[in-house]
Amino acid sequence: MGTTLVADTLENLKPEEVLSTVLGVYTDHAACLTCSFQAEDMIVLDLVRKRVPSIPVLFLETGYHFAQTYAYRDRIAKEWSLNLVNVTPQNTVEQQESELGILYRTDPSRCCQLRKVDPLLHALEPYAIWFTGLRREQSPTRANLKKIEEHRLPGGKALLKVSLLADWSWKQVWEYTGQHQLSYLPQYDQGYLSIGCEPCTAIPDDPANPRSGRWGGKKLECGIHTFSQGGQ
């Protein structure tokens, strides 16, 4: 799909304004939202579902999430009547560990590829617009993130990746959460700042680098947001 929007013109707009512009231009395009139920994703979900109540909410069901994450996901899905889509890998945790061992210890990048990236690539195929909760401040690998990016999947399909909170600070995330009385994952109260699969998530030593608590500090990305080819 060709990008009708000029990304630079949206950079100074508020999330609600970016959302309205995208939905106004791409009125007949299928949209989805990837959601790990972290604080940023909850804000994007809160904004988008008011405009598109039935939007598919893609949750990467790796089989390794915290019990608190699963409980929170199920509660929010019920309370908000979400169109929740649990995106699952080809193999169960038991099958993968039986065949390949404990990959999150020996080869975490391959584990992420099998349990997150590959399933998401398949799950994104039906959609033209992909909403995310990414922020530039989250990681050096996201520092150049645009609110609107055209991304091409490895299979050749292009889709519009929309990060409504790209320029938001951590302070803004929690201000919105408090002002709108959004609930949040209980792990935040325990000191976690970036929450993924339980075996690969720790409380960061450096609060200024929240993703330093992921994968034992060996990497910053699972690969989801680096697999595709960006372009305007």
Percentage of the residues of the chain whose pLDDT score is greater than 70: 84
Residue 150 DSSP SS3: strand
Domain extent listing, the chain: 13-227
Query: Which stretches within the chain are classed as H helix?
Result: 15-25, 39-51, 67-79, 93-100, 103-106, 108-112, 118-124, 170-179
Confidence of residue 28 (pLDDT cuts 50, 70, 90): confident
- Tell me how far the alpha carbon of residue 21 is from its chain's centroid: 21
Please state which CATH class domain 13-227 belongs to.
Answer: alpha beta
pTM over 0.85: yes
pLDDT, average across residues 118-140: 91
pLDDT value of residue 43: 98
The region of weakest confidence among 86-95, 117-126, 207-216 is 207-216
Q: Per the residue annotation, which of 35, 111, 200, 222 is the catalytic one? A: 222
What is the rounded average pLDDT of the residues 129-153? 86
Q: What was the pLDDT predicted at 5? A: 60
Segment 131-144 shows an average pLDDT of: 83
CB-CB contact of 230 with 3 (8 Å): no
Residue 228, pLDDT > 50, answer no
Tell me which residue of 217, 225, 166, 227 sits closest to 194, measured CA to CA: 217
Above 70 in pLDDT, residue 217? no
The secondary structure of residue 213, as a DSSP letter, is G
* Catalytic residue status for 222: yes
Order of all β-strands in the sheet with 129-132: 83-87, 56-60, 31-34, 129-132, 158-163, 148-152, 229-231
User: Of 183 and 226, which is predicted with more confidence?
Assistant: 183
Q: Model confidence at 140, in pLDDT bands (50, 70, 90)?
A: confident
